[in-house]
């Protein structure tokens, strides 16, 4: 699929074939910066999901018989294509989900890093040799693929996260049925084209375009052995609760967060302000690790607040294709309204607003003269960027209270609270941990004792010291605790979710000898 909008209606990839599916409904991919249509896609039905799952189930036995190395060979083709098309695909990511261009390109880079890790892991040692109590026995653990893996991925990392899930699942010998986010089907189409062009056997990889009903049909089907999900807490909890009640079926779900940064009295404020701006406003606050709470010690609060507010007031919102842009648009109109509701809630609960750029001034919205913009004959903006989903930073301070909804509920936007605290690191941790979520968090301090206390006592899955609360390297696990998740659908921990372990013991002697001193003698009534 090219970068040029087209009149073609794209479909699904099932059992090695492109198909329009059985439904009559279609939906559009839209550029969130302009509102323009990028492409049209057929919406998947239960029958389409059924066909994809049947294909995946039928392909499993033959696929699992391939060696690790043979399975990985198909992914190396994709690795090279991701690298060769880096700039092109980065621009497509930016056009479809609104991330500024360096983030769009980084999304593609992360994808090839994950493919490289998963495919390279095929040649690494697998399993564990475990000493036996009995000298004549060998004991070890061996992994086997679980079967059909259902993958449900989000719009904010439309290339990277699908490969978190699928690269590992495929190399480990599973077959896949994948539903991309309905907001980013163009990226899904391109990934499916890469899979098809790699020559991967029919039925091993299948893609269904569509909405949540298609995702539910995948995750709830008995033929799916593992569900890998990254997305909202509400959907993830529903998946985890349903799958958890089915014996033998697993779900690894990475969900949202109400992430916080602790800035102690020992913080370097240059590092603190830089990290907080990155954490709060990169990707327009639409990362599951974005920070919505800044917990600042009273000794440095006033200076930090002044510097943070100054930058938040000026941070560049604009055309995401331009390198000078720091924040692009929100993903869609419905999400803009969600951010508005969270901002209003903070005010209702007593917030003092420090920065309110929710409704941007006319001069802050791109003027339509930038790259890819549509302009009228007289040179005025034709309405292209005016139809985008624009929001700016919203910053407020509020006195901490455990019952405040604005400090408990995830906004998933450029919405951030400043909370002043007095006392030691344990007081900061008390505030930090007072949320139903536990995905990510950071501490800014020059005192290693404070840093290590945070590392050990913060309730989260991803912790950062003197860094933004943002970013991931593919070789590290990515997931959270509490409401933020029940698994880590990436890196080594994803292998746990898509494989079964067999503890294997073999006797090298002609005599049977048991552990724990258990007698192996067989006696009879005559004895």
Enumerate the active-site residues: 288
* Burial of 22 (C-beta count, 10 Å sphere; 0-12/13-18/19+): middle
Q: Three-state SS across 458-505?
A: CCCCEEEECCCCCCCCCCCCCCCEECCECCCCCHHHHHHHHEEEEEEE
Which position has the token pair 């695909």? 89
CA dist 438 and 428 (Å) reads 15
CB distance 212 to 206 below 8 Å: no
Write the secondary structure of 320-382 as one string of H (helix), E (strand) and C (coil): CCCCCCCECCCCCHHHHHHHHHHHHHHHHCCCEEEEECCCCCHHHCCCCCCCCCCECCCCCEC
CB 90 within 8 A of CB 111: no
Instruction: Quote the tokens at residue 145.
Output: 């693929």
User: Which one-letter DSSP state was computed for residue 8?
Assistant: P
Please, is 362 exposed, middle or buried when counting C-beta atoms within 10 Å of its C-beta (0-12, 13-18, 19+)?
A: exposed
Q: What is the DSSP string of 115-149?
A: HHHHHHHTTS--SEEE--SSTTEEEEEEEEE-SEE
Residue 332 sits at the vertex; the CA angle it makes with 329 and 333, to the nearest 5 degrees, is 105
């Amino acid at each position: 699929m090219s970068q040029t909008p087209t009149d073609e209606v794209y479909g699904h990839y099932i059992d090695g074939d492109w198909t329009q599916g059985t439904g009559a409904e279609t939906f559009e991919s839209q550029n969130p910066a302009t509102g323009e249509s990028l492409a049209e896609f057929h919406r998947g039905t239960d029958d389409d999901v059924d066909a994809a799952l049947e294909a995946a189930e039928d392909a499993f036995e033959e696929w699992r018989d391939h060696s690790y190395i043979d399975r990985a060979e198909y992914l190396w083709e994709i690795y090279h294509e991701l690298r060769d098309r880096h700039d092109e695909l980065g621009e497509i990511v930016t056009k479809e989900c609104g991330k500024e261009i360096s983030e769009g390109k980084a999304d593609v880079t992360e994808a090839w890093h994950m493919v490289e890790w998963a495919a390279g892991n095929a040649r690494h040692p697998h399993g564990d040799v475990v000493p036996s109590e009995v000298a004549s026995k060998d004991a070890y653990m061996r992994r086997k693929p679980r079967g059909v893996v259902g993958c449900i991925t989000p719009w904010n990392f439309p290339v990277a996260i699908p490969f978190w899930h699928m690269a590992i699942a495929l190399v480990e010998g599973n077959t896949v049925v994948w539903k991309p986010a309905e907001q980013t089907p163009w990226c899904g189409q391109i990934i499916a084209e890469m899979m098809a062009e790699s020559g991967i056997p029919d039925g091993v990889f299948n893609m269904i375009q569509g909405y949540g009903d298609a995702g539910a049909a995948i995750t709830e089907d008995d033929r799916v052995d593992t569900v890998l999900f990254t997305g909202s807490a509400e959907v993830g909890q529903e998946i985890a609760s349903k799958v958890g009640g089915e014996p033998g079926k697993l779900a690894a779900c990475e969900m949202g967060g109400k992430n916080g940064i602790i800035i102690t009295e020992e913080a370097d404020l240059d590092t603190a302000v830089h990290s907080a701006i990155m954490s709060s406003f990169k990707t327009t606050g639409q990362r599951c690790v974005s920070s919505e709470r800044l917990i600042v010690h009273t000794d440095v609060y006033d200076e930090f607040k002044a510097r943070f507010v100054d930058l938040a007031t000026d941070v560049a919102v604009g055309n995401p294709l331009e390198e000078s842009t720091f924040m692009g648009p929100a993903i869609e109109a419905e999400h803009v309204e969600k951010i508005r509701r969270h901002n209003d809630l903070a005010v209702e609960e007593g917030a003092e607003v420090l920065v309110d750029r929710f409704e941007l001034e006319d001069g802050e919205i791109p003027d339509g003269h930038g790259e890819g913009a549509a302009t009228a004959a007289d040179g005025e903006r034709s309405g292209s960027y005016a139809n985008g989903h624009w929001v700016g930073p919203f910053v407020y301070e509020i006195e901490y209270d455990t019952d405040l909804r604005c400090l408990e509920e995830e906004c998933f936007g450029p919405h951030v609270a400043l909370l002043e605290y007095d006392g030691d690191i344990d007081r900061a941790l008390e505030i930090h941990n007072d949320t139903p979520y536990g995905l990510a968090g950071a501490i800014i301090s020059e005192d290693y004792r404070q840093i290590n206390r945070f590392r050990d006592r913060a309730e989260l899955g991803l912790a950062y010291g003197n860094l933004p609360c943002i970013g991931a390297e593919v070789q590290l696990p990515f997931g959270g605790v509490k409401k933020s998740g029940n698994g880590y659908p990436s890196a080594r921990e994803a292998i746990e979710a898509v494989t079964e372990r067999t503890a294997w013991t073999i006797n090298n002697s002609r005599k049977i000898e048991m552990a724990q001193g258990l007698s192996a003698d067989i006696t009879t009534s005559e004895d």
